[in-house]
Amino acid sequence: MAIAKAERLMNLALCLLGTRRPLSKRELRGSIEAYLEAGSDDSFNRMFERDKDDLRELGLVIETVDNLEGDTGYLARRDSNRLPPITLDAEEAAALGLAAKVWQQARLAGAASGALQKLRAAGMPEDVEPYAAHSALEPRIPVHEVAFEPLMLACRDRRPVVFDYRKATAARPAPRLVEPWALECWRGHWYLAGWDRDRGAERVFRLSRITGKVRTRSGKFTAEVPDVVTVRETVASWAGESADRSAFIRLRSGAGYPLRAKAISVRELEDGWDELEIPYGHGIDAWLVEFGPDVVVLEPAELRADVVERLRAVAKG
């Protein structure tokens, strides 16, 4: 569905940019296959108005002209939609090249490579590689989750989605109806931040816990979408990275290396356990549950109660 819409928008943009005179709705409908397939005039009019608004939102300047017969015509003049010459210095060229390399292992690799070629054709210097001396350390954003692409498109198009999600404490996945805001990669894992309609609250979902197919739903968002900074802070918070105090746990010797890496202090005990002081932030209870019997929470009491409650939920299935 997203591909068909993108193709329709591209065809409409080409028609409006390629004409020397304003084209009426009737002429545009006869020139674009997707419009010919519209079931009725009302269906076509709604589709055309949405497409016109989308192109304008993307930055295309579309003029509306009334001819002598009273018909309304549309065109996009090339001089109004022409970008100025692209000039990049060495640092800007390096930043763009580095950004393209980041996506080499993701589904966006083709788009990133194509964009880089177009920029070089427009004047980006090919021989400027300030990061070449550090090529042994190349950035990568791995995207293995099947849910990534449909969620990325849903975030772009502002379309609600439905998917089955398995919480860390649940034995089986449950359906979630979400208004997707943004995708964030945090410490090698992808997260979706959005508005959970059923719970009426902001939520963050780890993509590796989404099972089955992501399905889009019609209709507009019902909740206000926050700015990018707020979404990133939410992802960091729900990933357990926003710690404002400490927690003390017992960890079995030789286990829980991710916890040891985050520990503020470690004290070796004599019974095959160690006592760790770790940062205590939102979401840490769900993370501790993943280590099962190798972790015992000592304090604070509310964290211990949260972990016990999650373990009981898992035991009940």
**109 vs 179 pLDDT, higher one:** 179
The tens digit of pLDDT for each residue in 223-247 reads: 988 877 666 677 666 655 666 789 9
Segment 8-35 shows an average pLDDT of 88
- Least confident segment among 16-30, 44-58, 138-152, 165-179: 138-152
| CATH number, domain 147-240, options 2.30.30, 3.30.230, 3.40.190, 1.25.40 | 2.30.30
Segment 94-117 shows an average pLDDT of 61
Q: How many Cβ atoms sit within 10 Å of the Cβ of residue 80? A: 12
Which pLDDT does position 179 carry in this prediction?
Answer: 96
The tens digit of pLDDT for each residue in 32-77 reads: 888 888 878 888 889 999 899 888 887 888 888 887 677 888 988 8
Which pLDDT does position 116 carry in this prediction?
Answer: 62
CATH topology (fold) of 1-112 = Arc Repressor Mutant, subunit A (1.10.10)
Q: Indicate whether 295 pLDDT > 70.
A: yes
Enumerate the CATH 2.30.30 domain ranges in the chain, comma separated.
147-240
Enumerate the CATH 1.10.10 domain ranges in the chain, comma separated.
1-112
Which pLDDT does position 190 carry in this prediction?
Answer: 84
The tens digit of pLDDT for each residue in 185-197 reads: 776 678 899 999 9
* Contact predicate 273/251, CB 8 Å: yes
Cα-based distances in Å from 30 to 12, 24, 26, 83, 169:
11, 10, 6, 30, 56
Question: Residue 219: pLDDT band by 50, 70, 90 thresholds?
Answer: confident
